[in-house]
Amino acid sequence: MASHSLHISARDLALTSIVPPLTTAVYPMTHEKISVVKDTPWFTDNEFKASSSDKFIDVHDPATNNLVTRVPQNTDDELKAAVESANRAWPAWRDTSIVGRGNESCSSLLSLQDFADAKGDVLRGLQVAEQSCGITEQMKGELVEVATDMETRSYRIPLGIVAAICPSRATMILAKLCQKAGFPPGVVDVIHGTAKTVNFIIDEPEIKAISFVGGNRVGEYIYTRGSANGKRVQANLGAKNHAAILPDAIKSQALNAIVGAAFGAAGQRCMALSTLVAVGEAREWLDELTEKTKELSLDGGSELGADVGPVISPHSKNRIEELIASAEAEGATILLDGRGYKHPEPIPIPLPMFSFTGNKKSIAGGGASNFYGKPGLNFYTQLKTVTSLWKHENANLVDKVAMVMPTQG
């Protein structure tokens, strides 16, 4: 899944401001070895630029482990240049109304994943577009009459330069779409790297807020260090998604839903189902659930009819096998085991079935910085409150200082 988008980044993102039409014909449809591997550019001032770095991160096709591109560890000058670009852009962007920001040409595309998942992304993309169209409603301020002829209103203004730290394979495609949509230079910048880049984002004074989705260890580090630097940080960490299946459920529908939720995107998405809580007689359905899982079509991910593709890397595969082994050592029964099976196709990872005993903390800071709805918008803005006094022409004016509420004087 990741390989295609990263491959696209290297092969199709020309270092120009002209973006060709996006069609599915553009994307690679095989896992053949690439004869000339190109480096992925970075994105600043609305341009894709080749990095001058001498340090690169290899990105492999998870189905074959073939090298598809190299992502640069941006240099110190490049990291700083991205912040300076955003600094130049944000005052004008801040002063542009919400409605005005929407008066741009918008584009959408289907990012190749497992085809079944990609079809679902079309609907999810439409939902995101609908949510974005309604952003003005959620950005409204509030007004209250606090005293006679006196109003207090609040409104939200942009916070400044903000950053998202994400292991996303779609980032460069989004940058490409921003360029095509006509975003002003500097409004969106994309930099690459590992710990060095993360630490730069955390420590750079001009960056006012950081958003992160990922594992517990990295998320807690970003939250702790970023908060210590006085930044706003929202961090969604690791968690186990649970589903409860009750005996009065429609069996076929429930089992199909469980298999899809557990193994879609090879179980690598944050919405993936980790744990099934089978209640009462529903425990007797586990054998049928196992058989349905065996029916999944396994392939490289982009092939038509593929239900399950590969996990992102050999390291991820080894980690999953270690987790299965540890569960077995602790007494778990493995209903479907693909370990050690030599086969050209990837193997789905068994879904654990056990009673719910608790869940990990999944949002740093106790959930104060929620990603969704109005709290998500509030994270990127700051509240301004104005109290105004409006006296009617026939009001009984008092010509003296009011110590309790000066504006009443």
Mean predicted confidence (pLDDT) in 47-62: 91
Structure token digits, residue 162: 């903000």
Q: Which residue has the higher pLDDT, 363 or 88?
A: 88
Do residues 306 and 315 touch, judged by C-beta distance below 8 A? no
Taking the domain 42-238+358-387, which CATH number applies? 3.40.605.10
Q: Is 118 helix (H, G, I), strand (E, B) or coil?
A: helix
* Vertex 152 angle, CA 151 and 156, to 5°: 140
In the chain, % of residues over pLDDT 70: 72
Query: Using CB atoms within 10 A of its CB, is residue 193 exposed (0-12), middle (13-18) or buried (19+)?
Result: buried
- Pinpoint the residues of the chain covered by CATH 3.40.605.10: 42-238+358-387
Strand (E) or helix (H) holding 168? none
pLDDT (tens digit per residue) in 245-284: 999 999 999 999 898 888 877 777 777 888 889 999 998 9
Q: Where in the chain is the domain with CATH 3.40.309.10?
A: 241-330
Distance CA 245, CA 288 (A): 14
Among 16-20, 74-78, 307-311, 319-323, the range scoring the smallest mean pLDDT is: 16-20
Place 138 in a pLDDT band, splitting at 50, 70 and 90.
confident
Q: What are 192's two structure tokens? A: 């690459």
Task: Give me the DSSP letters along 358-391.
Answer: -----BGGGGSS-SSHHHHHHHTEEEEEEEEE--
Q: What is the domain class of 241-330 according to CATH?
A: alpha beta
Joined together, the tokens standing for residue 240 give 């186990």
Mean pLDDT, residues 219-240: 89
Per the CB < 8 A criterion, the answer to whether 83 and 191 are in contact is: no
Cβ(364)–Cβ(223) below 8 Å: yes
| Confidence band for 66, pLDDT divided at 50, 70 and 90 | confident
Q: Which of 246, 308, 298 is nearest to 272 (CA)?
A: 308
Please identify every residue annotated as catalytic: 270
Element at 222 (helix H, strand E): helix 216-228
Of 228 and 60, more confident: 228
Q: Give the mean model confidence (pLDDT) for residues 84-88.
A: 93
